[in-house]
Chains A and B, each alone.
Chain A
């Protein structure tokens, strides 16, 4: 079945470090891919989404490229700040008649000032 894999459960960085969060997906369809961010005590909110393969999405300094060849949608940011500390979810929505979203396990980012 459809799945989204995030291998890193927790990432700890210092301010201005480079961020890379791994995400791979598995589906037989043509998904739209998302990154959601969840700050403490809040629900997830959309960070960025990409509908078309080989396109890149970006928001607030974060970016992710929909790589159909490697079925990946890794999240990157050149220089993280303490306010970026949150849980990041990679998610997928397939368009082959399946209405549900599939979320990855989430990666908790802690940025130390």
Chain B
């Protein structure tokens, strides 16, 4: 079936540095999402992106976070600067629409971010 890819699978950085997480969504999908999952906890919505704009974001989507998808390439999540509490697995997802059968989200395998 359709695949979402995430690069890298694991990233280790020092607190205060910038990090960019990359997502290659399903090719004809229009809606893109990021989720955060701290070890042992539930997956939580961060942001939804469509047509070059953030549609909705949660309170977890701090000012240090930004998303973009320049020219249809990777959908990225940038954190600048990083903090210790940003350590988590970040899942990217995409969907072709919002309603009915188009609402199914396809998830990537996640990027494990470790902030030291």
Contacts and interface: CB of A to CB of B under 8 A. Distances in A.
A43 B108 contact: yes
A26 to B, nearest CB: 15
Interface string B86-114: 00000101000011110111111110000
Contacts of A105: 41-42
A43 B103 contact: no
Interface stretch (A13-21, A68-76, A94-102): A94-102
Contact of B91 (A34, A43, A98): A43
Contacts of B43: 44, 89, 103, 106
A36 to B, nearest CB: 8
Contact of B104 (A42, A49, A89, A98): A49
A81 to B, nearest CB: 21
Interface of A: 32, 34, 36, 41-46, 49, 51, 89, 93, 95, 98-106
